[in-house]
Chains A and B, each alone.
Chain A
Amino acid sequence: MFAYIVRRALQGALVLFVVAFIAFTMFRFIGDPLESMLPREATELDRIELRERLGLNDPIPVQFLRFVGNAIEGDFGTSYRNGVPVAEMIAERLPATLELAVVSAIFAAVFGIGLGVYTAIHRDGWLANAIMSASLIGVSLPTFLIGVLLIWLFAVELGWLPSFGRGETAELFGWRSSLVTVSGLKSMILPALTLGLYQMTLVMRLVRAEMLEVLRTDYIRFARARGLSERAVNFGHALKNTLVPVITIIGLQLGQITAFAIVTETVFQWPGVGLLFINAVQFVDIPIMATYLLLVGVLFVAINLVVDVLYAVVDPRLRVERPVGRA
């Protein structure tokens, strides 16, 4: 298992290297970094001096190494648009995005697995069929449309939930959280639903397909023959053996959730990194775009690595040196 993880880690390192290089290229060659940093009345001499000071005359590999070094130390340059260090802006907004992503992922996993098991067990029931048909529409609905429709129903027509922002936040162990106030929790519901709905249908369809496969196998028939309760058969035997692909998908979807958080955050004006990124794209604020790319790169590589490790832990066939315990 060790060799397997090392191989995966090396692959991740390669991805990170490429991502860092792309971010560096963007940072260095798109837009003129001098243009945004010098005052309008700057002379040619100021220009040359600043070039030297920023190290823009050094060979490209040296500049790249310096870029990576700075990034590791948490220095991502300053925003072209408002001159604030990018690291500060990201740090301020990251908690909002992470909270939203985690709540959505939990929602998607819990309801996805639950509905998936239900639709698999009652495969010909009318409710199961209705859920399956509804999920097809759910897959075709773009995320932003789901968000807009939810706002229309719950914020405009019914007036139950707020339609934008994070509500009140409170300091919790140095983390500005909206999960501890009532208005924060209310503000969380619609964005989390919007973000998690697509992943939920995905998990549900996957669990259902896997369950139907497993329920046909001999060991399930034998479990029934042994007189085990339906619950023990469905959850203890069947569900357990569908979990490997499900864990992979949920893990990989965490990355997708972060990406689609851009959309959800725009719909709900949620003050997270995604909204920051969209504004950066609109105003061609390259340092923020490059930093976001780096951040997402690290996140995705980390998620993939964790999923690979979990995979090895859950699937005994991938873990050779330890004896296989009783399932």
Chain B
Amino acid sequence: MSVGPDTDADIGTRIDANAAATAAGTHPDARPGAFARAWQSDVAWSFRHSPVAMLAALAFAVLVIAAIGAPWIAPHTPFDPGSLNLMDGFTPPMGEGMGSGERYWLGTDDQGRDVFSTILYGMRLSLLIGLAAVAFAAVLGVTLGLIAGYVGGWVDALIMRVADIQLTFPSILVALLIFGVARGLLPPESREQMAIWVLILSIGLSEWVQFARTVRGSAMVEVKKDYVQAARLIGRKPSAILFRHILPNVMGPVLVIATIYLALAIIAEATLSFLGVGAPPTRPSLGTLIRIGQDYLFSGEWWILLFPSITLLALALSVNLLGDWLRDVLNPKLR
């Protein structure tokens, strides 16, 4: 997808999101550059005619920019104990802190941390873990799927049997088990620091199966085609055939699955962190923030819970909607 989300609602008539073309100084009508061709593709056309997709893309872009820019956007640095004022704790939204007299948009939590800032940093972590986990799952699944589809025989049988067995179990359970085992293998003192890597590993390992299955199916079809036979005949190495010839032809569905699984990975991370086995409270993700917020529900400090929850929902929903749209456009058969 080279079409970036546009901040302008009137996207259909304007091509000013065409950053690449403007930067290169080309006029789209005169000589179609890479961007102009992408702009006229079916995917872009469908994007411009789907208000839901545009809205979801806009929301996702805003959230991603906010997450990336957290250190510059956030009014406070919530994880620097020196800058916290305990007297500011439990400031309601739009209220002024008791200690510092500063105004907090979304209020503060028990330790006087600005909720808005913790959400920005938390979202950053949630997105990072989600993206890394999906990338890991995709690389693992695509590689195994390509090998299974290309080599066939017992290798194929073994990989697919493992996939079947893993698929018997819900991915959240698999992730929890891997998480527990990884913690057992780590020395207790490094568990806290390694928590984020363990999260990426366990979520990634719990989601590779769908990638492998899809790629294997497509690879088995591609292997029989002439271009693969030709590449074999001229003596290309199997690894080159797999990754240079077959892979580009099976990438469409992989993109769709990756988008849908990004939402799943974000939710999985939030769930694990909420359960208290994910990101530590010293470096909270959105799930950890919701877990913290739940403790203050009964004492009436609803903002500590509500705002991280809304952010998580917006993140998951926008990615989900984008994934649905992409699936319908790229592969109507998957519907």
Contacts and interface: CB of A to CB of B under 8 A. Distances in A.
Partners in one complex: yes
Interface of A: 14-15, 18-19, 26, 30-31, 137, 139-145, 148-149, 151-152, 156, 163, 255-256, 259-260, 262-263, 266-267, 277-278, 280-282, 284, 286, 289, 293, 296-297, 300-301, 304
A142 B271 contact: yes
Given A137-B317, A152-B297, A281-B179, A144 B274 contact: yes
A107 B327 CA distance: 31
Contact of B170 (A140, A156, A259): A259
Given A137-B317, A140-B313, A148-B305, A296 B172 contact: no
Contact of B297 (A148, A266, A277): A148
Q: Which of B161, B275, B305 has its CB near the most chain A CB atoms (within 10 A)?
A: B275
Interface in B290-319: 290, 294, 297-298, 302, 305, 309, 312-313, 316-317
B169 interface: yes
Nearest to B298: A156
A160 B103 CA distance: 36
B168 A156 contact: no
Interface stretch (B26-34, B92-100, B180-188, B224-232): B180-188
B309 A149 contact: yes
A281 B317 CA distance: 29
Main secondary structure of the interface of A (DSSP, over half): helix
A262 B313 contact: no
B238 interface: no
B86 to A, nearest CB: 26
Can you list the 4 inter-chain pairs with the closest CB atoms, starting with the nearest?
A259-B170, A281-B180, A30-B184, A259-B173
Interface of B: 161, 164-165, 168-170, 172-173, 176-177, 179-181, 183-185, 263, 267, 270-271, 274-277, 287, 290, 294, 297-298, 302, 305, 309, 312-313, 316-317, 320
A30 B181 contact: yes
A15 B165 contact: yes
A18 B270 CA distance: 29
A289 B313 contact: no
Contact of B183 (A145, A149, A262, A284): A284
A148 B180 CA distance: 25
A148 B276 contact: no
Given A140-B316, A148-B297, A262-B172, 6 more contacts: A14-B165, A140-B317, A142-B271, A151-B294, A281-B176, A300-B169
A140 B309 contact: no
A289 B168 CA distance: 18
Main secondary structure of the interface of B (DSSP, over half): helix
Contact of B320 (A139, A259, A286, A289): A139
Nearest to B268: A142
Contacts of A293: 177
Contact of B313 (A145, A255, A300): A145
Contacts of A259: 169-170, 172-173
A148 B290 contact: yes
Contact of B169 (A156, A289, A296): A296
A61 B161 CA distance: 22
A286 B177 CA distance: 10
A299 to B, nearest CB: 10
A286 B184 CA distance: 8
B170 A256 contact: yes
Nearest to B306: A152
A289 B180 contact: yes
B229 to A, nearest CB: 35
A171 B265 CA distance: 42
Given A145-B309, A266-B275, A280 B180 contact: yes
B252 to A, nearest CB: 24
B290 A145 contact: yes
Contact of A141 (B165, B274, B313): B313
Contacts of B276: 266, 278, 282
Nearest to B299: A156
Nearest to B317: A140
Nearest to A289: B180
Given A15-B165, A31-B184, A284-B184, A144 B290 contact: yes
Contact of B309 (A143, A148, A260): A148
B315 to A, nearest CB: 10
28 contacts: A30-B184, A31-B184, A137-B317, A139-B320, A140-B316, A142-B271, A142-B316, A143-B271, A144-B274, A144-B275, A145-B290, A145-B309, A152-B302, A156-B297, A255-B170, A259-B173, A262-B172, A262-B173, A266-B276, A267-B294, A277-B176, A281-B179, A281-B277, A282-B276, A282-B277, A296-B169, A296-B173, A297-B169
A128 to B, nearest CB: 19
Nearest to A143: B271
A142 B172 contact: no
Contacts of A255: 168-170
Contact of B180 (A149, A156, A263, A284): A284
A262 B316 CA distance: 21
Contacts of A149: 309
